[in-house]
Structure 1
Amino acid sequence: MGPYLKWSLVGGAVGLLAATFAFPVFQAWIREFQGLITGLAAVFAATITIGKMDATIQTMERTDEAAQRRHEQAQRQSQKALALSREIEQKSEQRHRQMMALTLRADRLKVSRSVGPFLPAIVQAIADLKSLISRTGLDDVGSQMLFVAEVENFANGIVQIIGNPRMKEAYELFEGKLAIELDASISSGHSLHAEAQSLLQDIRTRSGQAVAELEILAYSQGRIKTMMIHTMLFKGCLEGVRDGLNGLASLYLSEATALRIDI
């Protein structure tokens, strides 16, 4: 309605101006009421200006309200996205924990199979090796043959234990030192077994050839001393395996199954 009123007033003003020049009466009337007409025109102009300002203010308010609504909508969307991101992160963390639990359960089973049956046997083997190393009374060929045969059987038995496939189920979980000690123990055990087997065969051969007993004793005593050095090395490797398995037991097994025995 504002534009119609504007042009109506403009038309009226133009008509009034034309009438003023056409009719002298209007000129006299305008001079008489010039102040009033000017005041009314000023009031009218102010009214139009105020109306325009009010319309402008209303438009700005509507614009501000729309901007506020868009801002609030953006905030709600951002909050929803953040909540969704947190939910996804929580679910991802939960799945990660579940996978870790499953992996840890499998690792615990492997360690249990490696530590449970074999660690006590290794601990006992270390004690037996210590006894063999300190053995005395090997003053005749017969006692030497029995001793060497005992070392041969013992080395073979320990190699069978530490080389068992179940022992290596947790091999990928072994720390570098434990893996090295296990491989070294197997190699040392094989060498000790072969050395004892060779010495036992030599003693039997020399005895069958009617070699003097003193000569056999002297020969076998030198070989036995060398064999005892290898036995001590074998014992040291087994102690490393024992300590490594104890560490695995402490790390993976919930129960206190580690045998902390220092022999």
Structure 2
Amino acid sequence: MTSKNRRRVYGALAIIVGLGLALPVLFGESPTVDDRKGGNPWRNAIYDFQTLITGFAAVGAAYATVRAMQKTDKKADKRHRDLMELSLRSDRLKVDRAINPFVDLLSEHEEHIGSLVRILAKADGEAAVDLYREYGYFGRQAGGLLALLGSPQLHQADDLLDGNSAHSLERLLDAAATHDMVMRTLFDDIFAMVQARKSQEFIVDQIAHRVEGLFTIVQTIEEHLAIYLAGLRRLEREYRRVSAV
């Protein structure tokens, strides 16, 4: 039964009950007062059970009031959700622009940075030339991290990050810029030394001399890139959960 038909049935029942109560009261014969003999039976029943009838009427009125309040609350909840949707739309779009496609791209760089850490951890003076050759590929890959972190789209959600993630982003930007500068200087210097026909021992010594500094920088990048990525993913989950409410 549809709600419209249900309301019609309830209305018809209310009219029938109302007429059944009102007509005997208005037109029924009243009993004698001394011993209550005679009179209209239906009217007498209404008179005898008027308190009970009043109670049922009060319950019905209360039920109708509750139903009306529930409908009002549903409308208020819908308006609240609509307002929340409008207020969150801007922030949700910011988060989406920061997440897509940057989480995947940053994850790739995280793998390259991990390779750099492993390479630098095992490097020594004897392996400096091999380090240079191997580091060249991963170093260039990691160098793209600075350009990626400089994208304005990525930073649209910066004001929504938690404290640790925001701090790690600052440290990450500084470390990536330092790494980029050191790498450019390193390769430029090595190229200049090769052009100047410096001995291999001299070049090896120069490369090995800078390994320790590079190791510290790359470790910093690895640490804070992981924290920043975790913050972005957490931000994405939070806004998905809020949007689903």
Q: TM-score, normalised by structure 1?
A: 0.56
- 2:137 aligned partner, one-letter code: E
Q: Which residue of 93, 116, 133 corresponds with 2:100?
A: 116
1:154 aligns with 2:137: no
Q: Which residue of 88, 108, 126 corresponds with 1:104?
A: 88
Q: Which residue of 171, 177, 201 corresponds with 2:188?
A: 201
- 2:230 aligned partner, one-letter code: D
- Answer with 141-150 or 178-187: which moved more: 141-150
Q: Which residue of 150, 157, 162 corresponds with 1:175?
A: 162
1:163 aligns with 2:150: yes
**Counterpart-to-counterpart distance in 2, 1:134 and 1:114:** 29
**Counterpart-to-counterpart distance in 1, 2:105 and 2:94:** 18
Cα drift, residue 119 of structure 1? 0.7
**Counterpart-to-counterpart distance in 2, 1:151 and 1:123:** 14
- 2:151 aligned partner, one-letter code: N
The aligned length equals: 171
What is the match of residue 133 of structure 1? 117
1:232 aligns with 2:216: no
Decide whether aligned partners of structure 1 residues 127 and 152 sit closer, same or farther in structure 2, where only a CA change above 3 A counts.
closer
Per-residue CA distance 1:213-240 (angstroms, 9 max, x = gap): 1121012112023212211111111011
Per-residue CA distance 1:155-190 (angstroms, 9 max, x = gap): 331112222111111122112221221122111101
Q: Secondary structure at the match of 1:202?
A: helix
Cα drift, residue 209 of structure 1? 2.0
Asked if structure 1 preserves the Cα contact closer than 8 Å seen for 2:113 and 2:218, the reply is: yes
**Counterpart-to-counterpart distance in 2, 1:216 and 1:130:** 26
Map 1:79-90 onto structure 2 (within 5 A): none
Q: Secondary structure at the match of 2:153?
A: helix
> What residue ranges of structure 2 are gaps of 5+ in the alignment?
1-67
- 1:133 aligned partner, one-letter code: V
Per-residue CA distance 1:12-62 (angstroms, 9 max, x = gap): xxxxxxxxxxxxxxxxxxxxxxxxxxxxxxxxxxxxxxxxxxxxxxxxxxx
What is the match of residue 185 of structure 1? 172
> What residue ranges of structure 1 are gaps of 5+ in the alignment?
1-82, 256-263
Q: Which has the larger radius of gyration?
A: 1
Q: Secondary structure at the match of 2:207?
A: helix
Per-residue CA distance 1:89-114 (angstroms, 9 max, x = gap): 99776544322111223222211111
Q: TM-score, normalised by structure 2?
A: 0.60
